[in-house]
Amino acid sequence: MVEARDPLVEARKQLRRAIDLLGYPDYIYEVLAEPERVIQVKIPVKTSDGVKVFIGWRSQHNSALGPYKGGVRYHPNVTMNEVIALSMWMTWKNSLAGLPYGGGKGGVRVNPKMLTPRELEELSRRYFEAISDFVGVDLDIPAPDVYTDPQVMAWYFDEYSRIKRGIYPGVVTGKPPELGGLKARIVATGYGVAVAVREAARRLLGGLEGKTVAVQGFGNVGYYTAKYLAEMGAKVVAVSDSRGGIYLPEGLDPDEVLAVKRREGSVIHYPKAKKKVSPMEVLELDVDILVPAAIEGVITEENAGRIKARLIAEGANGPTTTEAERILTERGIIVLPDILVNAGGVIMSHIEWVNNRMGGWITDEEALRKLESKMSENVRYVLSYWEKKLEVDKHPVRDAAYMIAVERVVNAMKLRGWI
């Protein structure tokens, strides 16, 4: 992988651009470039070989539209700036999706693979305890992100309910179905990416049927994106994980690849693969559609010139740098931005949260239908705005997405009398 950039620098560049395009004065940039609050916590965990100390954060970027909302990631390289950038992206994502949420994000600097299940539980409970006065059903609602899952959410929910002496399933989303979560939450981000790609392909590529796809990253988002795109008629020809990638021009079966990954630890052991490639080479394959669904900062000015896909859908948060996007736009390659296409997870989170607060029992089918229509509508709206208000050969779709998202947040701040 390429050296990681500071995601906050990228996030601020994107904000700056939106402010300029909207013709807003500088102070609006100043207000939005910083989060409203960042909480840093120390998390000591007793392990079999002594006490280990971890650092965690919760960044609450903006609450003009509603309670802060966004996931918590566990990763050995998480930094405070990354968490702040991700919380800013959540503000735009939630605004653009039309959800009554502000933006937040959490992170703990830990390699969860090095912890026993009991240590992971301890870490999760202590993290949530440490931030418990700053989260809440109507205040800040965490959810899963990189390396956190429904079990971690169950511990958060339980710990919070214990501390606050009540039962508060709505304080986190992405819970197991037994605790008020939706099974559909697991597939939601990838399903949403696939729906968004289908909608955009209809408009921009003459349909999805038979189009070739490469997916970088085969975690939750990458796998479900590949699975649903294949079901919708696209041909997934390449996928990769952190160990490497595989290429099969006839098209591969994402379920078979997942079985191999589960059994042998990586997609590279898929026996039918014609060619092995590196995770970075996956980005440069000759395909119609590319889905970076792994980590930030993988499409840079260094490799943007070699990308062959016509359409890129950002399954991950922040995979394309500003400079890379400029090169791609010049080359006529369309990037569907993260804040638009990977909002399926948080849209489903909202459905879960509403359901919890009503004490309801929505079915997964109904929830997925709602997600599908919301995502298709959002993609159509953003693409129409882009075509109507901007010169499409000079402006990436992200410009349109940011203008819509930032304007809504600014209007909310004005109405509330903040600015």
Distance CA 196, CA 201 (A): 8
Residues facing residue 246 across a β-bridge: 239, 276
The Cα–Cα gap between 186 and 195 comes to: 15
The token pair at 308 is 């062959």
CA atoms of 343 and 70, how far apart (whole Å): 11
| Nearest distance in Å: CB 244, ligand GLU | 25
Taking the least distance from each CB to ligand GLU, the nearer of 77 and 116 is: 77
* Residue among 154 and 238 whose Cβ is closer to ligand GLU: 154
User: Quick one: which of 17, 58, 61, 69 contacts ligand GLU (CB under 6 A)?
Assistant: 69
Q: Report the SS3 class of residue 334.
A: strand
Closer residue to ligand GLU (CB): 147 or 247: 147
Instruction: Tell me, rounded to whole angstroms, the distance of Cα 166 from its chain centroid.
Output: 31
Catalytic residues: 105
Strands (DSSP E) contained in 330-369 are 334-336
Segment near ligand GLU (CB under 6 A), from 14-22, 159-167, 299-307, 338-346? 338-346
Which residue lies nearest ligand GLU, judged by its C-beta? 71
> Judged by CB under 6 A, does residue 75 bind ligand GLU?
no
The size of the interface with ligand GLU (CB under 6 A), counted in residues, is 13
Burial class for 48, CB neighbours closer than 10 Å (0-12, 13-18, 19+): exposed
Choose the stretch contacting ligand GLU; rule: CB under 6 A; options: 3-11, 64-72, 221-229, 400-408: 64-72
Residue-wise burial string across 378-412, b where 16 or more C-beta atoms lie within 10 A, e elsewhere = bbebbbebbeeebebeebbbbbbbbbbbbebbbeb
| One-letter identity of residue 102 | G
> In terms of Cα–Cα distance, which of 185, 246, 252 is closest to 216?
246
Min CB(293)–ligand GLU separation in Å: 12
Please report which residue ranges of 359-396 form alpha helices under DSSP H: 364-389
Q: From the centroid of its chain, how far is CA 11?
A: 14
- Alpha helices per DSSP H over 209-313: 220-231, 254-264
Residue 317 sits in the site that holds ligand GLU (CB under 6 A): yes
With CB under 6 A as the contact rule, the residue among 67, 71, 150, 170 that binds ligand GLU is 71
- 3-class SS of residue 47: strand
Mask of contacts with ligand GLU, 168-187, x by CB under 6 A?
Answer: -----xx-------------
Closest CA to 307 of 271, 326, 344, 333: 333
- Contact letters for ligand GLU, residues 134-153 (x by CB under 6 A): ---------x-x--------
Using alpha carbons only, how large is the chain's radius of gyration in Å? 20
- Position among 345, 356, 375, 412 found at the interface with ligand GLU (CB under 6 A): 345
Would you count residue 87 as binding ligand GLU (CB under 6 A)? no
Which residue from 149, 145, 142 is spatially nearest to 120, judged by alpha carbons?
149
E strands present in 255-413: 275-277, 289-292, 311-313, 334-336
C-alpha span between 56 and 72 (Å, rounded) = 10
Q: With contact defined as beta carbons under 8 Å apart, do 349 and 72 qualify? A: no
DSSP 268: G
398 dihedral zone (left: phi>0; alpha: psi -120 to 50; beta): alpha
Identified binder of ligand GLU from the candidate list 70, 169, 222, 319, rule CB under 6 A: 70
Tell me which stretch binds ligand GLU (CB under 6 A): 15-23, 76-84, 219-227, 344-352.
344-352
* Chain residues in the site for ligand GLU (CB under 6 A): 69-71, 93, 143, 145, 173-174, 317, 342, 345-346, 349
